[in-house]
Structure 1
Amino acid sequence: MFKQGDLIDGKYKVIKKIGEGGFGAVLEVYSLEKRDYFALKYCSSKDQDYLKRFDREVRLMQAINHENVIKVFDFNLDYDVPYFCMPLAKHSLKEIVPLEVAHCAQIFEQMCNGVNAIHLSGSTHRDIKPENILVMHDDTIVVSDLGLSKFDMRDSTVLTQTDVWMGTSAYMPPEQRTFGGTRDLQHSGDVYMLGKTLYEMISGRVPYAINYSEVPTKFHMVIRKATQEHAEDRYQHVGNLLDAFLDSYRVMTEININSFKTIIKIAMEKTKQKESIEEFAITIVDYVKKQEDFKEVIEMFHEINEEVLENIVINHESIFLDLLKKYHRAIEREIENFPFIFAEEVDKRMNILIKQTTSVEIKSKALTIILIAAVDLNRFSVMDSFNSILTKVNDEVLAEYIAEELRTNINYYKKIYDQIPRRELHPAIAVVWDRC
């Protein structure tokens, strides 16, 4: 109905189509008023039932104010083609499955919180699936597409006839496929769909049938109970499902952390015996890289004792750089939640790396991490360490790498740049000093 460049309601310029349904579509649009990009959903059908359903979707979204439920910020149901506008998402959950378990836990918790908010508002979603779970640009997860949703107390209506079932086959609970099933679906039906969606998040497979060998054993019971054939045998509330999932995840994580500590211990013994730890080094690096919780990344990095750390950075520079980049992101996000003295622990480890490695990338990244720790935790001794290293840089290539890191992290450098006179810096670094 709309093509690129069209103007909707005199204020939304069509950029492209990003989704399509039975009686309308979702477009990416540019708001001439707000000067920003948004998602616009419109109803192209003139059928009164579809128009009423579209109106109900808007009312449902207006009734819910929760960070994990999609928001409507503008609408015009009297326009020639009724529409409403929402924030523009980065992508749907469907586009990124399967997920690492830690990432899955982070997303599933937000999904459940969103669906629970819908239930607490007095509604049922009725079409939960990965396509209807959106990842926003700040990585917040929102439940979207409330087109099949209903107000529990008011909507056992003609909008969903008794002889019609609507939804998505692979995720539907058995009762939704029966005579009047969609119309009469209860919250336990949403629980069933969450269970099916959880299975797909981990396995990457559309859940027409569930193969439990494709998900960790710890989650078998959770998925099995959520997807019981009879509604009364399932978790009766989304909160019960989420509690069971998080309990299983915590048990699984605790076992893995203990395993990680065991691997470190073995690697330490082999290092003392001057034996190769290549296998263990790869396992250690991969394990930390896969962690999604940034605080966990920092804590695990600091579980690696100094001897093993030296061994890995000397003998496995290429894989270690990826680990250091992950640690860098974690430090940026989480170091303010650590005690002030922790900056000195960070400084000590980064100095080990700088002294032991020949990689200018690792050296420059490690120096940046010292800078962040010094500034965010306001430790003058760590600032002195940073300044001491910086003034000793005389290698041209290393200076260029450090200069680029400082440009990228200029907001940190600006806070302490004047502690060293410009004349004491390598020319490549002095140019960044001038920017401060």
Structure 2
Amino acid sequence: GKDGIVVSDFGLCTEQESMTAFTRSSQWAGTLGYMPPEFTLGGFRDVDATADIFMLGKTFYAITSCRDPMYLVADGVPPQLFPIFERCCAINKLSRYQSLASLKQSLTAAFDVLLGRAVGPGKVYGLLRSISDRLRASQQYAPEEVARFVEELGLLGADDQHKVCMELPAEAFHVLSQHLVKEHLSPFIAVYRGMAEKATYSWSFAETIADHMKVIFNASDASATDKAEALRVAIIAAIRQNRFAAMDTCKSMITSVEEEELGQRVHDVLIENDSPFIQYIDPSECKAGAVRAAVVALKTAAEARVAKDDGFITL
């Protein structure tokens, strides 16, 4: 151009005795390690902007880590940036940033911390107050405000994250389960799980954790992955604090599962979090076959351990 160089993306193309023989939509090509998985599932036909975000995330990772981007490894990458790269490069494109604007927002927040520009917990509490005030005044919420809250929460240190999580009102969990902000639910649950695992809260707060996670578990807009993680967090809190009421809440979640995908995910959560209260669930109460199988397997293993112990003589 007259005023400088203009770079334009014409797409992949090929000349086969014709100047107009462009790449067919059913074809795919690209650089291994950078290509999103949907490239190989149907060519370029169903590719959208999230594919660009995937490749941009891989590029950011390669520049930051100086490593091959085939697999993302956190070592050597600033902890504020790695979760952003992971989200950019999620296998499921619905789990990625859905726009460059939202990606830019996360990067800006991360560099606020890296460069000392962030205001810390005060900013998170301010967003939380704004969300709560709006809900009380009009029963409405601003999706972009909720998104900023989750992003800023993820950038806090662990202790500050836990303090914020323990002060979240019940309505916050209903909001986080809504369709318009569900892409932010997974990172929120990850932060909330850290608080549950820390177990510096009172015994009774384990019931609050279980109740909050049940809201997410029962939300129609939450994915099976997020529902299973919500159950995992509730079980962790119930076991850590040995709170029977929280265990009862977990039991109601476990036995209510009917969908096959969620059933398999819950199966894996139960096997990984073996506990007597799960073993005591009546298999006939479980609606999903995979959940029933997990309960039976845990019961059988517990009975085998008891039988083995009974075979020893105590001196």
TM-score when normalising by structure 2: 0.54
Identical positions, percent: 17
Query: Does the 8 Å contact 1:288/1:301 carry over to 2?
Result: no
1:339 is matched with which residue: 199, 202, 205?
202
Q: Which residue of 2 aligns with 1:413?
A: 274
Matched to 1:421, the amino acid is D
Distance 2:139 2:208 in 1: 26
1:427 is matched with which residue: 283, 289, 297?
289
> Residues 312-391 of structure 1: matches in 2 within 5 Å?
312-314=176-178, 315-332=180-197, 334-335=198-199, 337-359=200-222, 360-391=224-255
Query: Does the 8 Å contact 1:263/1:284 carry over to 2?
Result: yes
Query: Does the 8 Å contact 2:207/2:246 carry over to 1?
Result: yes
Distance 1:383 1:276 in 2: 32
Distance 2:79 2:282 in 1: 49
Distance 1:339 1:306, change over 3 A: closer
Residue aligned with 2:218, SS: helix
Query: Does the 8 Å contact 1:371/1:386 carry over to 2?
Result: yes
Q: Which residue of 2 aligns with 1:236?
A: none
Matched to 1:331, the amino acid is A
User: RMSD of the alignment, in Å?
Assistant: 3.0
Distance 1:275 1:340, change over 3 A: closer
Distance 1:429 1:97, change over 3 A: closer
What stretches of structure 2 of length at least 5 have no aligned partner?
1-73, 82-109, 299-315
Moved over 3 A (4+): 97-101
Distance 1:98 1:424, change over 3 A: closer
Q: Which residue of 2 aligns with 1:396?
A: 260
Distance 1:298 1:394 in 2: 32
Matched to 2:202, the amino acid is P
> Residues 145-160 of structure 1: matches in 2 within 5 Å?
none
Query: Does the 8 Å contact 1:364/1:398 carry over to 2?
Result: yes
Q: Which residue of 2 aligns with 1:216?
A: 116
Q: Which residue of 1 aligns with 2:3?
A: none
Counting matched residue pairs gives 193
Q: Which residue of 1 aligns with 2:76?
A: 96
Matched to 2:279, the amino acid is D
Greater per-residue strand proportion: 1
2:152 is matched with which residue: 287, 303, 316?
287
Residue aligned with 1:356, SS: coil
Distance 1:273 1:344 in 2: 29
Q: Which residue of 1 aligns with 2:124?
A: 260
Greater per-residue helix proportion: 2
Deviation (angstroms), 1:330: 3.7
Deviation (angstroms), 1:276: 4.3
What stretches of structure 1 of length at least 5 have no aligned partner?
1-92, 102-202, 205-213, 218-251
Distance 1:401 1:341, change over 3 A: same
Distance 1:300 1:421, change over 3 A: same
Distance 1:406 1:311, change over 3 A: same
Distance 1:423 1:99, change over 3 A: closer
Distance 1:96 1:390, change over 3 A: same
Distance 1:429 1:361 in 2: 15
Distance 1:375 1:330, change over 3 A: same
Distance 1:98 1:322, change over 3 A: closer
Deviation (angstroms), 1:376: 0.8
Larger radius of gyration: 1
> Residues 48-87 of structure 1: matches in 2 within 5 Å?
none
